[in-house]
Structure 1
Amino acid sequence: MQNELKSAIRFNDFVAYFGARGVVALAWWMGAAHAARIREDQNSFPFLQINGAAGSGKSLMLEYLQKLNGQTPYAHSLAHATQAARARIYANAEGPIVICEHHDEPEQPFDWDELKPLYSSGDVISQEGGDRTQRVTFKGALVITANQPLECSEAVRSRMVVVDLSVADAHTPRIRPEAIGDLNANEASAFGIKVAQAEDWISSTIKVFLPGYQGQLMHKYGPRLNARTALNCAQMLALLDLLCSLLAIPQDVQLDARKVVHDIAFLDTIPY
Structure 2
Amino acid sequence: MPNPAFVSRIQAMADATGATQFVTLNGVERNTTTLLVDGLPVEIVLPTITPVDIAARLESLDQLNAHAFMVSGMLVNTRDRPTRWQATIAVLASSALTDEAVANATTTLNNELASITGAVSPRPIYAFTLSGRRTTIRLRIENISDEPLRVMVRLTANKLTFPKGDQVVTIEAKSITDVAVPVVARTNGSFPVSLDVLSPDGGLALINTLYLKARVSALTGVAQLLTGGGLLMLLAWWGRNVRRGRRSKHSAAGRSNHPVVRPNGGLASNEPSSTNISHS
Same fold judged by TM-score > 0.5?
no
In which range does the TM-score fall when normalised by the shorter chain?
Answer: under 0.3
TM-score (ref. length: structure 1): 0.20
Report the TM-score when normalising by structure 2. 0.19
Give the helix-richer structure, 1 or 2: 1
Determine which structure has more spread, i.e. the larger CA radius of gyration.
2
Taking CA–CA contacts closer than 8 Å with sequence separation of 6 or more, which of the two structures ends up with the larger relative contact order? 1
